[in-house]
Amino acid sequence: MPENNPSSAGALSFDLVNEPWIQVLRCNGSQDELSLRQVFAQADDLRRVPGELATQEFALIRLLLAVAHDALDGPAGVEEWAELWGDPDCFAPVQAYLEEHRERFDLLHPVAPFLQTSGLRTAKDEVFSLNRIVADVPAGEPFFSARLPDVSRLSFAEAARWVVHVHACDTSGIKSGMVDDDRVKGGKVYPLGTGWAGGLGGVFVEGGTLRETLLLNLVAADTDELDFSPDDRPAWRRGPCGPGSDGRSATGLRDLYTWQSRRVRLHHDADGVHGVVLGYGDPLAWRNMHRLEPMTPWRRSPAQEKKLGRSPVYLPLEHDPARSAWRGVAALLADRAEETGGAEGPSRLRPRILEWVARLVTEGHLSRRFLVRARVVGVRYGTQQSVVDEVVDDRLVMPVVLLHAQDPTYAQQAISAAEDADRAVRALGDLAGDLARATGAEEEGPKSVARAGGFDALDHPYRDWLSAMAEVVDPFEHRHAWQRQVRQIVGRVGDRLIAAAGDAAWEGRIHTDNKGGTHWLNAGLADVWFRGRLARALGDPGSPDFPGSPGSNEGDATPGGDGPYTPGPAGLPETDDAATDPEVYV
């Protein structure tokens, strides 16, 4: 039968309000698929909406938040939020809202299919493989996928999840041009950037249940750090999107959480979806969106400031897949002003969703011992953002006292503790390099492996130490305890490296240092240097040898070492090349 034809396929419908399509994990550990109506009705019995990828979960959480914000038309203020938090049936208004807008939640609607463009086509009427929207089939590496190299068919439920995801996190690159899109050149549209959420260092707060998760991320409209507009509406309360862009800006959270960064049309029959047409939708610049987007940290971009001739310019601070979330704790805890002196604004802004949770505690709506479960989600794209290289997915449990704006002491000690770990692991890497040099081997590989092992050894201890700050009276003494623990853990890892170095390392060889001097280097001398570096990295804050204190020896070139070392903010990329900015593709 003809496909996607309203006259013959009009009877086909997949109503997302009532049909199960969202994967859920229940609090008892079982898994299920539920409709939108069921997700909100059962939110207190659900743990998560896991999805196929962490980025899909992030996109679905944002979709559910857009529904909740719009259905509740708020919360207008923190007191209204507190009433929702205390009401087990707080999402009851969502049921009537979903019924009112049910027609716009039909995945197969002939005129306004959910988050799609009816009649979307290329000049050649091409229909493409579903690989274009299914992000867990790696480009060029099908053998590392649980799926076949080609996705030939999807159920309506899974197709709906990937439609939500493609708007949020689709790759950039050259895409097929659509009929009536004035951006088409030679049948193609050249790179306009990834989906909006794909350019973020995504952060949201997890609660004990899905109900708590949605409420903790349901920011009130009286939040100082964010702008709200009475005209803010989600995608399903706007007109169906055409092939081109209308060039408008986002109006607020509801609009941004459902931003149509792509034009999509599913091709289906009665048994499911078997093809897709996918093109660019509405582009959205990442510059200075920090007063609209709460779910990412932000960084100042000198490159963009120079290019645009204005300051400050903030861009999303994306996650580094090579670093665990705790190593990037500075991006979550503090607005950093030290690089600019604060004259024109901080160099980095923490996610405003965490500011919101801190406010709930400060104003007495959550316990001061409340543990914030920050979920960190993001994408690392490769080859000019045209492929997905890695998906970042991590959690960091921390006491809300770390977010206290009036008393940053706890946050400062938590950040400094992560930097303690960085310095200690740097010393461990130098030890591995020295041992390699003592045998005449190449040093970069052993250094890299040693550093990775050092951070692995510190991962759980730091997370436990951070969570324990909820009960801590003296954050300085707590950090001293951490430094002692790091010295023991990294020292033991160093002992294992030395023991494994073998007889050749103990025998040693003549080595030329970076000042041109020569001396005999063996495992014994490497051990002495390692203990000295570790002592300088983890000295007592009251001693002159403590890193960063007056008279400190930090940064002195140690024989056989790499020379001066000045650690940057833990977990944050230090480059600001315009080529790495998402903005370059917008």
What pLDDT, in 10s, does the model give residues 245-271?
667 899 999 999 999 999 999 999 999
Distance CA 32, CA 542 (A): 56
Per-residue pLDDT of 355-400, as tens digits, reads: 999 999 889 999 888 889 999 999 999 998 999 999 999 999 999 8
Banded pLDDT at 336 (limits 50, 70, 90):
low
pLDDT for 149: 59
- What's the maximum distance between 2 C-alpha atoms anywhere in the chain? 87
C-alpha 280, offset from chain centre = 23
Banded pLDDT at 208 (limits 50, 70, 90):
very high
pTM of the model: 0.86
pLDDT for 416: 95
What does the pLDDT average to over 514-531? Answer: 88
Tell me: pLDDT of 139 over 70: no
What does the pLDDT average to over 134-153? Answer: 63
Banded pLDDT at 569 (limits 50, 70, 90):
very low
The reply to whether CATH 1.10.132.100 applies to domain 409-537 is: yes
The structure tokens listed for 580 are: 């790495």
Please give the share of the chain, as a percent, with pLDDT higher than 70.
86
- For the chain, what is the mean pLDDT? 87
Tell me: pLDDT of 570 over 50: no
Tell me: pLDDT of 167 over 70: yes
User: Bridge-partner residues for 205, per DSSP?
Assistant: 374
**Stated length of the chain:** 586
Banded pLDDT at 163 (limits 50, 70, 90):
very high
Per-residue pLDDT of 41-88, as tens digits, reads: 999 999 999 999 999 999 999 999 999 999 999 999 999 999 999 999
- Dihedral angle sign, alpha carbons of residues 399, 402, 404, 407: positive
User: DSSP readout, 1-46?
Assistant: --SS-HHHHTT---BTTTS--EEEEETTS-EEEE-HHHHHHTGGGE
Give the other-Cβ count within 10 Å of 329's Cβ.
Answer: 25
User: Bridge-partner residues for 279, per DSSP?
Assistant: 263
Please give the share of the chain, as a percent, with pLDDT higher than 90.
75
Per-residue pLDDT of 289-323, as tens digits, reads: 999 999 999 999 999 999 999 999 999 999 999 88
pLDDT for 244: 64
For the chain, which residues make up each domain, given as ranges? 1-405, 409-537
pLDDT for 577: 37
pLDDT for 488: 96
C-alpha 549, offset from chain centre = 34
What beta strand segments (E) does 401-550 contain?
A: 509-512, 518-521
Distance CA 411, CA 286 (A): 28
Smallest Cα–Cα separation from 538: which of 463, 458, 470, 460? 458
Banded pLDDT at 4 (limits 50, 70, 90):
low
pLDDT for 542: 43
Say which residues have a Cβ less than 8 Å from residue 165's Cβ, sequence separation at least 6.
51, 53, 55, 56, 59, 133, 135
pLDDT for 147: 52
What does the pLDDT average to over 547-569? Answer: 37
Tell me: pLDDT of 554 over 70: no
Say which residues have a Cβ less than 8 Å from residue 500's Cβ, sequence separation at least 6.
none
Least confident of 193-202, 259-268, 462-471, 565-574: 565-574
Least confident of 136-150, 403-417, 434-448, 555-569: 555-569
